[in-house]
A and B are shown apart, each in its own frame.
Chain A
Amino acid sequence: MSIKISPTLRDSLSVSITVGAYGVAFGAAAVANGFSVLQASLLSLLTFSGASQFAVVGILGAGGTAISAIVTATLLGTRNALYGVLMAPRLKVRGLKRVVAAQITIDESTAVALGQESRGPEEMRKGFWYTGIGVFVFWNLFTLAGALGAQTMGDVRTFGLDSAVPAAFLGLVWPRLVGKFERILAVSCALFAILMTPILPAGLPIIATAFIAIAVGLRR
Chain B
Amino acid sequence: MTSFWIATIGAGAMAFIMKFSGHSVPQHWLSHPKIGKVSALIPIALLSALVSVQSFSEKTTLMIDQRLAGLAAAMTALLLKAPFPVVVISAAVTSAAVYNWL
**Interface, chain A (partner B; CB < 8 A):** 18, 21-22, 25, 34-36, 39, 42-43, 45-49, 51-56, 58-60, 62-63, 65-66, 69-70, 72-85, 87-89, 91, 98-99, 101-103, 105, 157-174, 176-177, 182, 185-187, 189-194, 197-198, 201-202, 205-207, 209-210, 212-214, 216-218, 220
Contact = CB atoms under 8 A, between A and B. Distances in A.
Contacts of B92: 159-161, 163-164, 167
A158 B4 contact: no
B53 to A, nearest CB: 5
A218 B11 CA distance: 26
A192 B22 contact: no
Given A66-B7, A159-B92, A194-B53, A81 B22 contact: yes
A72 B57 CA distance: 18
Main secondary structure of the interface of A (DSSP, over half): helix
Given A79-B43, A157-B96, 15 more contacts: A18-B85, A42-B9, A58-B54, A66-B3, A76-B42, A76-B47, A81-B21, A102-B16, A163-B67, A166-B70, A186-B45, A192-B49, A197-B60, A198-B60, A210-B45
6 contacts: A46-B11, A84-B24, A162-B66, A170-B47, A173-B44, A205-B53
Nearest to A194: B52
